[in-house]
Structure 1
Amino acid sequence: MTILDDLRPYVPGLALLGGGALFATLLGGAVSGLQPLVVAVAAGVVAANTVGTPAAAEPGVALHKLALETGIVLLGAAIAIEELAAAGPTVLGLVVVAVAGGLLLSEAVARGLFRIGGTTPSLLAAGASVCGVSAVVAVGRVLEARGAALTFAAATVLLFDAVTLVAFPLAGEWLGLTARQFGVWAGVSMFSTGPVAAAGFAHSTEAGQWATVTKLARNSLLGGVAVAYSVAYAARSATDPEARELWAEFPKFLLGFLLVAAIANGGLLSSAAIDSITAVSDGLFLVAFVGLGLSIRVRELRSVGLAPVGVVLVHLLVVSALALVAVRTLL
C-alpha cells in the first residue's frame, strides 16, 4: 500500500475544508469589516445543518482538530515573549483564580441550587472552567463517569461554545475593549480552545493571539485539576497507573507552542521565516474553523437538559462578569 492509498480516504474531507476556507477568504476580502474566520465558522454551521457532511468526507473533516492544534503551535512564532512577560503574572493570576473559582462555583450551583448528583457537577465544572470537552473527558475518565453523564456534560459545553462564539465578539465591540483586554477576557471566560481562538481573531489579530495564549494557560491546568478530582473522589491516586490516561488527554500542542515561541524569540528565525510561519498558521486556522462549524449540530444541542444548562449559564455569567471587571481594571 502506497502513501497515496493511505491518504485517499482523507481527500474528500480535506477538499471540503479547503473549499470552505477559500470561500471564507474570498468573501471576507470582498466585504469590508467581515472577518474570514467568522465566515469560515458560519459556512461550516450552515453546511452541517442543511445538507450535512457527506460520509466520504468525514475522515478528512475530522482532521480539523489537528489543523487547529498545528495552527496554535505555529502561532508561537508570532508571540513576543517580552510583551507576554510584562503582563504574564497578571494574566496567569486571572487564569488561576478563574479556574479555581469556576470549579467551586459550578460544583456549588449544581449540587446546591439544581440538586444534581453523581459526577455530572464535576464534569460540568471541569468543562466550563478548564478546556471544554477535553476536560469533561479527562475528568470523566479518572472518576469513571457513566456514559450518560459524559454525554450531557459534553453537549452542554458544546451548546455554550456555539453561543459564546457569536456573543463574545459582539459584546467585545459593544463594550469597547482593547484587543488585549478582549483577548484575555475571552481566554478566561469561554470554554473550548477552538471557539476562544475564533472569537479572538474575529475581533483582531492581536486579540486572537492574547485569547489563544490565555486559553493555553488554562489548558495547562487540566492535569492538575483531574488529579485533584481523583483525590477528592478517592477513586484514584496520583500514582495510580490510570494517571497515564491524564497524559493522553493533556493538550500536548501546548508544549509545541512554547517550543516554537522560544525558537522565534531566541533569534533563530528571520523575519521572513516568521511571516511565512504566521501565514501558514492563519491558513490552518481557517481550515480548522470550517471544521469547527461542521461539528456543530443544532439538532443535537436541543437535547441538552435544562439543569446542566442552568449550571453552566450561571458559571458563564458570573465568571465572565468578574473577568470583565478584572481586565478593565488590570490591563
Structure 2
Amino acid sequence: MNRTFLPGLALLLTIGLVGRLVATVIPVHHLIITIALGLLIGNLYGIPDWAQTAVGTHKLWLELGIVVMGASVALDRVIAAGPTILLLVVATVVTTIVVIELLARSVFAIQEQTGSLLAAGSGICGVSAVVAIAESIAADDSRIAYAAATVLLFDATTLFVYPLVGHALGLSEIVFGIWAGLTMFSTGPVTAAGFAFSNTAGEWALLVKLARNALIGLVAIAYAIYYARTTAEIESKSVTTDGGTAGNAVGWRFLWDTFPKFVLGFLAVMVVANLGFLNSAQTTSLSNLSDWAFLTAFAGLGLEIQLEDLRSTGYKPVLVVLTGLAIVATVMLFVVQALF
C-alpha cells in the first residue's frame, strides 16, 4: 500500500506546493493554480501508474477538508441566514431542473433520460447526481457518459470563470459565495472558486453547496417515480437503489444511501467548535489541516481532468447546459444581490 500510495501523495503535495509558490508571483489564488498545474501535467504526461492510487483519493481529501473546515464557520451566521438560504437552495434546484428539462425536450430535442441526467447534474451536485439519478431511472452507460462529460466540461471552465466574473462585477464576498454555491455544479469546483475569491466567499459557497447536495436523494426518488409512471409500472413497483422492487420503506433507505455523509461530519465539527469545546490552537490546527487537504484534493482533481474525454461531448448537451446555466445564474445573481 505504502509503495503505491506514498509516492503518489508526494506528487499531489508537490503540485500543491508549486501552486502556492507560483501564487506568490502572479495574482491568482493558489488553489486555482494547483488545479491548472495538475491539468497541465495530467494532459501532457498522463498519470503515472505509481500515482494512480493516491490521485484516486482526491475526493476523500476534499471531504476531509470540508469536514474539518466546519471548525472555522460561525454558527450564528448560518442560523441567521438559514431559512433564506434553504429557500434559495430549493428554488434554485427546482428552477435549474425545470429549465434544463424544458430546453432538452422542447428546444434541442435531446433524448429524455439524457436530458434528465443533465438537469440533475446541473441542479444538484455534478457527476455524483448524474450517477445517482442514472441508477434510479436505469439509464444506460452511454447516456451516463454523455451527461457526465458535459458536466465535467462545465466544472473545468466555471471554476476559472466564476472568480473572474465575480471580481469584474465587484460582487461582495457573501454575494459571490452564495451565488457560486447556488449555481455551480460540483463540490470541488465550487470550493475552489469560492476560496479563490476570498475565505469568506469560500465558506458561504461551501455551506450553500452542501445544502444543495443534501437534496440528491429526494430528487433521485422524484425522478424514479416519474419514470416509473411513464412506463406504467408505478402501481406494482417502487424503485430500489439497484432498480429492483420492494416495499414503500425503501424510499427512506434510498435517501440515506444517496445522502452525502460527510455533510454530517461538517455539521458536527461546526457545532462542537461553536459550543466552545475547541480552543483557538485546536481551531487553527483544523484550519491548517483543511488547507492542506484542499491543496491535495485539487492537485488530484486537476490531474484527473482529461481534455480528450471532454471532446466527446456533443454540441447539443453543451448548448442545453450553457443556456440553462446562463438563465439560472443571471436570475439568481439578481435575487442574491437583492437579499444580501
* TM-score normalised by L of structure 2: 0.92
Matched, 1:123 2:117: yes
Q: Does the CA contact (< 8 Å) of 2:92 and 2:182 recur in 1? A: yes
Q: Which structure 2 residues correspond to residues 39-188 of structure 1 after superposition, within 5 A?
A: 39-188=33-182
Q: Give distance in 1, aligned partners of 2:166 and 2:102.
A: 29
Q: How far apart in 1 are the matches of 2:295 and 2:143?
A: 32
Please tell me whether residue 252 in structure 1 is matched to residue 246 in structure 2: no
- Give distance in 2, aligned partners of 1:283 and 1:214: 22
Q: Deviations 1:176-211 (Å, cap 9, x if unpaired)?
A: 011111000000010000000000010011111111
- Secondary structure of the 2:171 match is coil
Give the Cα–Cα distance (whole angstroms) in 2 for the partners of residues 58 and 301 of structure 1.
20
| 1:231-263 CA-partner distances (Å, limit 9, x unpaired) | 111164473758745544431111110111111
Which of 169, 173, 193 lines up with 2:187 in the alignment? 193
Q: Distance in 2 between matches of 1:222 and 1:196?
A: 17
Shift of residue 69 of structure 1?
Answer: 0.4
Which residue number in structure 1 is paired with residue 2 of structure 2?
7
Q: Is the 8 A contact 1:95 1:218 kept in 2?
A: yes
Instruction: Give the CA deviation at 1:12.
Output: 2.3
Report the Cα distance in structure 2 between the residues aligned to 1:128 and 1:118, rounded to whole angstroms. Answer: 15
Contact 1:106–1:315 under 8 Å retained in 2: yes
Whether the 8 Å contact between 2:136 and 2:239 is mirrored in structure 1 is no
Deviates more, 1:226-235 or 1:68-77: 226-235
Q: Which moved more, 1:248-257 or 1:316-325?
A: 248-257
- What is the Cα deviation at residue 135 of structure 1? 0.3
From 256, 261, 284, give the equivalent of 2:270. Answer: 261
Q: Indicate conservation of the 8 Å contact 1:134/1:249, yes or no.
A: no
Asked if 2 retains the 8 angstrom alpha-carbon contact of 1:179 and 1:207, the reply is yes
> CA–CA distance in 1 between the matches of 2:258 and 2:222?
15
Q: Offset at 1:118?
A: 3.3
Among 284, 293, 303, the alignment partner of 2:293 is: 284
**Aligned with 1:233: secondary structure?**
helix
Q: C-alpha distance in 2, partners of 1:184/1:118? A: 31
Q: Normalising by the residue count of structure 1, what TM-score does the alignment of the two structures yield?
A: 0.95
Task: Judge conservation of contact 1:143–1:233 (CA < 8 Å) in 2.
Answer: yes
Q: Residue in 2 aligned with 1:23?
A: 18
Contact 2:218/2:255 (8 A) holds in 1? no
Give, in whole Å, the separation in 1 of the partners of 2:10 and 2:258.
Answer: 29
Task: Count residues in correspondence.
Answer: 325
Q: Name 2:244's counterpart in structure 1.
A: none
- How much has 1:31 moved relative to structure 2? 2.0
Q: Deviations over 1:62-108 (max 9, x none)?
A: 11110000000011101101011222222211111000111111111
> Does structure 2 conserve the Cα–Cα contact (< 8 Å) formed by 1:142 and 1:242?
no
Separation (CA, whole Å) in 1 of partners of 2:18 and 2:279: 31
Q: How much is the aligned-residue C-alpha RMSD, in angstroms? A: 1.5
Q: In 1, Cα distance between the equivalents of 2:153 and 2:42? A: 15
Q: Judge which range, 262-271 or 242-251, deviates more.
A: 242-251
* Structure 1 SS opposite 2:281: helix
Alpha-carbon distance in structure 2 between the residues aligned to 1:44 and 1:248 = 32
Cα distance per residue 1:136-177 (max 9 Å; x no partner): 000000101000000000000000001101110100000101
The equivalences for 1:304-315 within 5 A come to: 304-315=313-324
- The equivalent residue for 2:199 is 205
Output the CA distance in 1 between the equivalents of 2:2 and 2:222: 41
* Partner deviation per Cα, 1:267-319 (whole Å, 9 max, x = no partner): 11111111110111011101111111111111111110111111111111011
Letter of the aligned partner of 1:77 in structure 2?
A: A
Note the C-alpha offset of 1:32. Answer: 5.8
Amino acid at match of 2:114: T
**Amino acid in the other structure paired with 1:272:** A
Which residue of structure 2 aligns with residue 3 of structure 1? none
**C-alpha spacing 1:304/1:243, structure 2 compared with 1 (3 Å):** farther
Q: Say whether the 8 Å CA contact 2:217–2:254 is kept in structure 1.
A: no
Match for residue 245 of structure 2?
none
CA contact (8 A) 1:138 1:246 kept: no
Matches of 1:80 and 1:281, distance apart in 2: 16
